[in-house]
Structure 1
Amino acid sequence: MSEFIWSLRGRCYKLGDNIPHPGGVIPASLVTARETDPKVLIPRLFEETDPGFSTRCKPGDLIVTGRNFGMGSKAPGYIAMQALGLGLLCESMSVQAYREAISTGLRVLSPCDGISLLCENGDDIEANFQTGVFINHTRGIEHSFPPVREGLQDLLAKGGTIAWLEHWWRTTGSMAKLEN
């Protein structure tokens, strides 16, 4: 397994406050259908909030949001963001939304109080999710936010809940015990 990359550097995609998961991050129809295939989800990511987003973003780009991001705790949008190699920096999001994002293996920092004031669309920004250090290279700004909690870092580094559980089963020999 390759070493997990804790820092992302790329273009800033700034969104506002109160972006709901269904209808804002991903169409509600995909949420209710419980779609989890990244190939289906990626082209529809932010299509109602930022049309054409999935064709413009690149791995390492960072989504910066205001308060109350991702209301309605669902995973499809986070699956698409993780598959695209993006990171997420939120002024605030619910515990359920944060849990869903981490469980999919998405690099996410929240709360990032005032982050919306530190960047604009298109800025060259960088975030280290293990240390919480945020740098806006375009504007020459550096700021620290709370990092991913230590207890969640292993889960994130393994790729989310399913990958962590698969690793746990392989390394503890529990799978062999169940098969016998």
Structure 2
Amino acid sequence: MNDYRWVLRGRCYKLGHDVPHPDGVIPARYITAREMDPAVLVPHLFEQTDPGFSQRSRPGDIIVTGRNFGMGPKGNGYVAMQALGLGLVCESMSVQAYRAAISTGLRVLNHCENITAYCQTGDELEVDFLNGAFINHTQGVARAVPPVPHALRELLACGGNEGWLERWWLARQQQARDSATAA
């Protein structure tokens, strides 16, 4: 968990309120097809909300959204965001959307009240997901935000559900080998 990047610094991509997951985050056809391959999804991330996003974004960039982000069937878009090395800071998102984002290993902060008032697209942001700090270097603004909950930190640091389960399985196999050696 020590080498996990809890602090991201990059450009802001500000989105408004009520951005749906289908056709807002990722085209609905990829959701209904249950496509989860990042190589397929990345070129289509935000293609209807912000055309050309996937070509402009780079690791460390931060998506800042208003209320009700990612409503509707979810998961695919968070896979693409995580694959690009992005962060997500929301005024609010549903429990299902938050759970889907965390399960992919995406750095995400939720319940950041009025966060869209503190940035514009293109601003240079720095977000500390572990300690709950939001800094807009362009505007010279800093504010505290709710950090990633303690109970979710290990899951995120492992890269989401798949990484956590892989680590658990390897530890379990090691325990079995240690028990066999001791016997």
- State whether TM-score is above 0.5: yes
Larger CA Rg, structure 1 vs 2: 2
| Equivalent-residue separation in structure 2 for 1:131 and 1:22 (angstroms) | 31
Matches within 5 A, 1:149-160: 149-160=149-160
Matches within 5 A, 1:139-150: 139-150=139-150
Consecutive unaligned residues in structure 2, runs of 5 or more: 178-183
Matches within 5 A, 1:30-45: 30-45=30-45
* Paired letter, 1:119: C
| Equivalent-residue separation in structure 1 for 2:82 and 2:176 (angstroms) | 31
TM-score (norm 2): 0.93
- 8 Å Cα contact 2:66-2:116 kept in structure 1: yes
* Paired letter, 1:86: L
1:98 aligned residue: 98
Consecutive unaligned residues in structure 1, runs of 5 or more: none
| Equivalent-residue separation in structure 2 for 1:109 and 1:38 (angstroms) | 22
- 8 Å Cα contact 2:31-2:73 kept in structure 1: no
- 8 Å Cα contact 1:124-1:137 kept in structure 2: yes
| Equivalent-residue separation in structure 1 for 2:25 and 2:175 (angstroms) | 36
1:74 aligned residue: 74
Runs of 4+ more than 6 Å apart: none
Which deviations, in whole Å up to 9, do the C-alpha atoms of 1:114-167 show, x marking residues without a partner? 100000010000101111100000011110111110000000000000110110
TM-score (norm 1): 0.95
Following superposition, the deviation at residue 72 of structure 1 comes to: 1.4
1:166 aligned residue: 166
| Equivalent-residue separation in structure 2 for 1:110 and 1:73 (angstroms) | 18
| Equivalent-residue separation in structure 1 for 2:94 and 2:167 (angstroms) | 28
Which deviations, in whole Å up to 9, do the C-alpha atoms of 1:38-84 show, x marking residues without a partner? 01000000000000000000100000000000001411100000000
- 8 Å Cα contact 1:110-1:146 kept in structure 2: yes
State the number of aligned residues.
Answer: 177
* Paired letter, 2:39: K
Root-mean-square deviation (CA, aligned residues, Å) is 1.6
| Equivalent-residue separation in structure 2 for 1:141 and 1:116 (angstroms) | 12
The reply to whether residue 53 of structure 1 matches residue 53 of structure 2 is yes
- 8 Å Cα contact 1:169-1:175 kept in structure 2: no
